[in-house]
Amino acid sequence: MWRTTTVVVGAGHCGLAMSRCLAALSVDHVVLERGEVAHSWRTQRWDSLRLLTPNWMTRLPGHTYSGDDPDGYLGMPEVIGLLTDYATGAPVLTGVTVTSVQSSGQGYLVHTDRGVWQARTVVVATGASAVPVRPAVPLPPGIPVLTAADYRNPGQLPNGGVLVVGGSASGIQIAEELARSGRSVTLAVGEHVRLPRTYRGRDVLWWMDASGLFDERWDAVPDLPRVRNLPSMQLVGAPRTLDLNTLRGHGVSLVGRLVGARDATLQFSGSLANMCALADLKLGRLLDTFDAWADRAGVEAEAAQRFAPTAVPTPALSAQLGRGGIESVVWATGLRPDLSFLKVPVFDRKSRILHDGGVTPAPGLYVMGLPFLRRRSSTLIDGADADARDLADHLIGHLDMHARRAS
């Protein structure tokens, strides 16, 4: 059995950010990673994907972007290279799968496929994107199906029409790529968050960052469960807007949310117009917020503008699977955490982990990388910095309190 003060589970950007903070506080620790550093970036991303955040937002503890393209967007090889370099000198053990974390009299026992660690504290930094979420809609056998985590490029799919399910960042990017490859694409759209890439001459995420929206705290927003379950932003890692209007221009057919399948017929909700109107309304309110802040702060920017409403056709309510219709399906319906290795009573009745800004009810057990963990930016690479610093400080306080009680 090995002993350390803190075990960090996961060597993605969250785990590495926490490791950097713990090292700065002289906390003995180890980072356990089932694959390689940046494992999910290596194994769950499509070939052409780029970060949605501009390069200047690639900030981690002890690291800021220093290249010559601050307004560009990193591709996956660059992200992997960044995190690999950032891990240099960190106590990372790769190829070690954590099989269980259990409470013990002196903290936690972390069981792995290579032995057991005893630690006073544990930080679970496996993130929110471990397991694809697939709706319970049964499809006939023989229809090729991929999730966004499995998708790499259009060549994986057979000829013929493709249904992409999900209108958030992954879904709209995959739908556009498939349409550009010559496929007939149908996109099933539910609730979504519409954003322009730029507003008043600046990247829209500059506005989110500078106005303080990204710094909104979990303990200061109403209806936190709702906020934590919002879809991801409709953005693409390029200096252009990609929204439903753009996709229609590429020939993508829009339909409502996929609600069922009967024999070889897919069934769609009639809610597309309402979902688009709601997204347009929320976009307008967000731009109003930006404009009001710019006036108060005296920001020099281009004139305020508003964007054309989403043009909603009369959508089909059904579609044929096979026989020259839809020949394959891509589920871009999100991902969820996989915390099945946690054998500690910190889950609610729906198996969701309970935490207060990353601090679980089990003393000394922390979680990182979940939506709106401590701030609106928590799921972004940029958001890991502040979250890691806060949680590392809390961890130190826990260790100090434990030491006082023991003395």
Q: Identity (one letter) of the amino acid at 143?
A: I
Question: Which tokens go with 300?
Answer: 């020099």
pTM: 0.96
| Residues 371 and 218 sit within 8 Å (Cβ to Cβ) | no
d(CA 219, CA 373): 10
Q: Tokens 């269980």, residue?
A: 100
3-state secondary structure of 250: coil
Check: CB of residue 316 under 8 Å from CB of residue 255.
yes
Show pLDDT as tens, one digit a residue, over the chain (407 residues).
Answer: 999 999 999 999 999 999 999 999 999 999 999 999 999 999 999 999 999 999 999 999 999 999 999 999 999 999 999 999 999 999 999 999 999 999 998 899 999 999 999 999 999 999 998 899 998 898 988 899 999 999 999 999 999 999 999 999 999 999 999 999 999 999 999 999 999 999 999 999 999 999 999 999 999 999 999 999 999 999 999 999 999 999 999 999 999 999 999 888 999 999 999 999 999 999 999 999 999 999 999 999 999 999 999 999 899 999 999 888 999 999 999 999 999 999 999 999 999 999 999 999 999 999 999 999 999 999 999 999 999 999 999 999 999 987 777 66
Per-residue pLDDT, 372: 97
- SS3 of residue 165 by DSSP: strand
| pLDDT for residue 407 | 65
* 265 touches 322 (CB < 8 A): no
- Count of all residues that appear for the chain in the document: 407
* Rounded CA separation 249/144 (Å): 27
The answer to whether the CB of 107 falls within 8 A of the CB of 95 is no
| Rounded distance between C-alpha atoms, residue 63 and residue 85, angstroms | 11
What pLDDT score does 403 carry?
74
- Chain centre to alpha carbon of residue 122: 22
Domains located in the chain, CATH noted: 2-130+337-406 (3.50.50.60), 134-331 (no CATH)
The Cα–Cα gap between 210 and 206 comes to 6
Whether residue 371 contacts residue 379, with contact meaning beta carbons closer than 8 Å, is answered with yes
CB atoms within 10 A of CB 260: 14
Judge whether 327 and 160 are in contact, CB under 8 Å: yes
